[in-house]
Amino acid sequence: MMNPFLQVALGGAIGAVARYGATRALWLHGPGFPIATGVVNVLGSLLMGLLAALMTYRWNNHFAPLLMTGVLGGFTTFSAFSLDALTLWERGQQVGAMIYILASVTLSLLAVLAGMAIGRGLWA
């Protein structure tokens, strides 16, 4: 079994590259509204829920450092989310910032819930 620190490092590199690719691929991302960051956070939350169920029911957390901490830790973007929300606020777009915060948090929580439900249905 690979050293957990090495798993996190390898997974983090993979996740960071995937996040960069997703941001570049989502043409709606730009100076107007941070759609890509929100999409990455919601998708990452869905995957986190799926992986949580898979780890619990099938893999006994053997790959958690690689996949959950590493890949999804590198892929999801809470720090970027925070900066995007603050940037909207500082640009005078307070309503947009609040909508972005509420939508991102709500959709991410719902995505984790959906991922866990799907994962339980697949692997329990």
With a cut of 90, say whether residue 17 has pLDDT above it: yes
pLDDT tens readout for residues 24-44: 888 666 667 788 888 899 999
pLDDT at position 88: 94
User: Considering the chain, what is the average pLDDT of its residues?
Assistant: 91
pLDDT tens readout for residues 87-107: 899 999 999 999 999 999 999
Q: List C-alpha distances in Å: 38 to 98, 101, 109.
A: 13, 9, 12
**CA pair distance 38, 2, nearest whole angstrom:** 32
Q: Could you give the count of Cα atoms lying within 13 Å of 68 in the half-sphere of its Cβ?
A: 18
pLDDT tens readout for residues 58-97: 888 888 999 999 999 999 988 889 988 998 999 999 999 9
DSSP secondary structure letter of residue 62: T
pTM value? 0.80
